[in-house]
Amino acid sequence: MEQAFLQFLATQKQTLSAEGVGIGDDAAVLAWPADSKLVVCTDLISDETDFHLADVTPQQIGRKALAINLSDIAAMACQPVGALLTLLLPQGEGSLQLAQGIYQGAAELGAQFACPIIGGDTNSWPGKVAVSVTVLGQSLAGKPLLRSGAQPGDAIFVTGQLGGSIWRHHLDFTPRVHEALQLTQACSLTAGMDISDGISIDLPRLCQQSDVGAEIDVRLLPLSADAQKMSEKTGKPAWWHGLNDGEDFELLFTVPQREADQLVAQWTNATPITRIGTIRHERELTMLGEDGTRQPLLPEGFSHH
- Parent domain of 214: 155-296
192 and 70 in one domain?
Answer: no
224 and 121 in one domain?
Answer: no
Residue 148 lies in a domain: no
232 and 106 in one domain?
Answer: no
Task: Mark which of 107, 138, 169 sits at the end of a domain.
Answer: 138
268 and 183 in one domain?
Answer: yes
100 and 33 in one domain?
Answer: yes
Mean pLDDT value of segment 273-297: 97
- Is 248 annotated as contributing to ligand binding? no
pLDDT at 304: 54
- Is 268 annotated as contributing to ligand binding? no
Task: Mark which of 84, 104, 138 sits at the end of a domain.
Answer: 138
- Is 137 annotated as contributing to ligand binding? no
- Is 72 annotated as contributing to ligand binding? yes
The amino acid that residue 151 corresponds to is Q
- Is 259 annotated as contributing to ligand binding? no
- Is 196 annotated as contributing to ligand binding? yes
pTM (2 decimals)? 0.94
Phi, psi values for residue 234, rounded to 5°: -100, -20
Residue 38 lies in a domain: yes
- Is 120 annotated as contributing to ligand binding? yes
Is the pLDDT at 9 greater than 80? The verdict is no
For the stretch 102-121, pLDDT in tens is 999 999 999 999 999 999 99
CATH number at residue 188: 3.90.650.10
- Is 173 annotated as contributing to ligand binding? no
For the stretch 120-160, pLDDT in tens is 999 999 999 999 999 999 998 679 999 999 999 999 999 99
Residues 252, 212: Cα–Cα separation, whole Å = 15
- Is 247 annotated as contributing to ligand binding? yes
102 and 130 in one domain?
Answer: yes
CATH number at residue 10: 3.30.1330.10
Judged by DSSP in three states, 169 sits in helix
Residue 146 lies in a domain: no
62 and 30 in one domain?
Answer: yes
- Is 147 annotated as contributing to ligand binding? yes
For the stretch 10-49, pLDDT in tens is 676 666 665 667 777 888 899 888 889 999 999 999 999 9
Residue 305 lies in a domain: no
Burial 77-91 (b: 16+ CB within 10 A, else e): bbbbbbbbbbbbbbe
Residue 54 lies in a domain: yes
- Is 154 annotated as contributing to ligand binding? no
Residue 144 lies in a domain: no
How many domains does one find in the chain?
2
Task: Mark which of 83, 113, 138 sits at the end of a domain.
Answer: 138
Residue 147 lies in a domain: no
Residues 67, 79: Cα–Cα separation, whole Å = 13
The length of the chain in residues reads: 305
